[in-house]
């Protein structure tokens, strides 16, 4: 998939109006995949109790979910090249809906492996949306505001992640015996079988919403962005000639891995004696503050990027995230709680900022570079599983130090990016046709 480095092509007159409505519709995608991704944080403690698993086994949910990014990102980029952005978005939403509906047989059997397969299908659909939507937003407007624009739209992603923990606490953990029972209470087999079905209504509802959004995309006329380079231009460039792209892939890998690992175990971490010693239902409510901080931070970061280089903001946030993780691990109670929750705020601008800095100057290779960057999201499969293994061996509290070296690398990436302009390969819009 390649995006024209010359101009975003729009139909006729008011470019600003076209951008507004296109970005508004695209924002629904960011909201939905953020919501579904973080809903895993409620699903992990729920299924951990239903199927009586250790931390490493329960982390297979995130492993299967994020492994889909590593498997499908490059094929997804090729699919976008073949069928275009609009059709790819519709296909991605439809695949996500199918995955959500697979929760019905998974909970009726019930089978942990069918649950994992369902999550894998959902993540495959999200991968296609990520490959299409992130570069689309980056090039849909002036290049100088690409980091700010992607941070703003990602703010809606964070709004979805903010709502998901409360939704999961109420409709999954709150409706199950495993979510409301005190720690150490004995749960019967019949209760576990019934609890497995607590996920049915939420995920069927999500499937219907996804199909509705797919219909809206199919009906709406969207600005068309070329998916091939200009044949008149010599094809001399290569992604290998852009070292910041390779560094960015590693940065995305470690950032997503750290963010997901912290969120995945946060419910059990907050419920532990080290922090609040509460039920998982109560603990899950605090996870909303973690993701809510990311939402607030993205809007604050987008505003600051009008005056401060994105790389500087990225580096400061990475250092603060390291300090917050260390403070949480080496303190306890309320201090440990709010320190780990604050990491969400520092995470906020990392993904969109790493993304735009990494694709800076790629020109017609922007789409291909996007595919590699989205592949880096597979870190969400690897780092949480590693943390689960460490949690089983050394305890959940110490396992949270897994995130520290991830943020240290991001600080290094920010330092390397300090000399770049934080620009993407888009340009001012010109008149043309809509898809």
CATH number of the domain residue 363 falls in? 1.20.1250.20
pLDDT in tens, 125-158: 999 998 888 777 766 666 666 667 777 777 778 7
Note the pLDDT of residue 121: 95
Q: Give how many domains the chain has, as a whole number.
A: 1
pLDDT at 317 over 70: yes
Asked if 351 and 256 touch (Cβ cutoff 8 Å), the reply is yes
Q: Is residue 66 part of a domain?
A: yes
Report residue 430's pLDDT band, with 50, 70 and 90 as the boundaries. very low
Report residue 77's pLDDT band, with 50, 70 and 90 as the boundaries. confident
Q: Is residue 3 part of a domain?
A: no
Note the pLDDT of residue 186: 55
pLDDT in tens, 181-219: 444 455 566 666 777 788 888 899 999 999 999 998 888
Q: Is residue 4 part of a domain?
A: no
pLDDT at 119 over 80: yes
Q: Is residue 432 part of a domain?
A: no
Q: Is residue 435 part of a domain?
A: no
Note the pLDDT of residue 174: 59
pLDDT in tens, 259-309: 989 988 898 899 999 998 888 778 878 888 888 888 899 889 888 988 888
Q: Is residue 124 part of a domain?
A: yes
pLDDT in tens, 322-368: 999 999 999 999 999 999 999 999 999 999 899 888 887 776 677 67
Q: Is residue 430 part of a domain?
A: no
Asked which of 32-41, 54-63, 303-312, 413-422 is least confident by mean pLDDT, the reply is 413-422
Residue 269: which domain range? 9-228+237-422
Asked if 335 and 413 touch (Cβ cutoff 8 Å), the reply is no
pLDDT in tens, 222-268: 766 655 555 444 455 566 667 888 899 999 999 999 998 998 889 88
pLDDT at 94 over 90: yes
Q: Is residue 434 part of a domain?
A: no
Question: Across residues 409-430, what is the average pLDDT?
Answer: 65
């Amino acid at each position: 998939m390649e995006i024209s480095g010359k101009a975003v092509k729009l139909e006729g007159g008011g470019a600003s109006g076209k951008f507004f409505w296109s970005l508004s519709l695209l924002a629904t995608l960011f909201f939905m995949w953020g919501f579904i991704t973080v809903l895993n944080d409620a699903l992990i403690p729920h299924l951990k109790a239903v199927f009586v698993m250790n931390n490493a086994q329960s982390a297979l949910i995130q492993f299967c979910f994020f492994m889909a990014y590593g498997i499908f990102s490059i094929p997804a980029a090729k699919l976008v090249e073949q069928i275009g952005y609009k059709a790819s978005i519709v296909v991605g939403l439809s695949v996500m809906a199918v995955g959500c509906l697979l929760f019905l047989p998974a909970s009726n059997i019930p089978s942990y492996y069918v649950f994992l397969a369902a999550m894998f299908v959902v993540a495959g659909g999200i991968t296609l949306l990520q490959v299409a939507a992130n570069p689309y937003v980056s090039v849909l407007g002036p290049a100088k505001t690409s980091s700010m624009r992607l941070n703003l739209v990602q703010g809606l992603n964070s709004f979805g992640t903010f709502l998901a923990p409360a939704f999961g606490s109420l409709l999954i953990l709150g409706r199950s015996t495993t979510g409301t029972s005190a720690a150490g209470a004995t749960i019967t087999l019949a209760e576990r079988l019934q609890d497995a079905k607590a996920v049915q209504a939420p995920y069927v509802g999500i499937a219907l919403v996804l199909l509705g959004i797919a219909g809206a995309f199919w009906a709406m006329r969207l600005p068309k962005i070329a998916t091939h380079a200009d044949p008149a231009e010599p094809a001399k460039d290569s992604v290998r000639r852009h070292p910041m792209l390779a560094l960015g892939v590693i940065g995305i890998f470690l950032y997503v891995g750290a963010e997901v690992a912290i969120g995945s175990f946060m419910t059990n971490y907050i419920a532990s004696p080290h922090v609040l010693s509460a039920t998982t239902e109560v603990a899950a409510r605090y996870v909303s503050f973690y993701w809510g901080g990311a939402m607030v931070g993205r809007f604050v970061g987008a505003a600051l990027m009008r005056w401060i280089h994105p790389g500087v903001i990225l580096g400061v946030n990475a250092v603060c995230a390291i300090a917050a993780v260390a403070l949480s691990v080496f303190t306890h109670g309320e201090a440990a709680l709010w320190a780990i929750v604050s990491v969400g705020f520092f995470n906020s601008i990392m993904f969109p900022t790493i993304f735009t800095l990494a694709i800076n100057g790629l020109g017609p290779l922007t789409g291909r570079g996007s595919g590699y960057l989205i592949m880096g999201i597979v870190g969400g499969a690897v780092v949480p599983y590693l943390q689960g293994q460490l949690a089983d061996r050394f305890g959940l509290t110490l396992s949270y130090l897994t995130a520290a070296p991830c943020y240290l690398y991001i600080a290094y990436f920010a330092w390397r990016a300090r000399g770049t302009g934080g620009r993407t390969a888009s340009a001012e819009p010109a008149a043309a046709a809509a898809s």
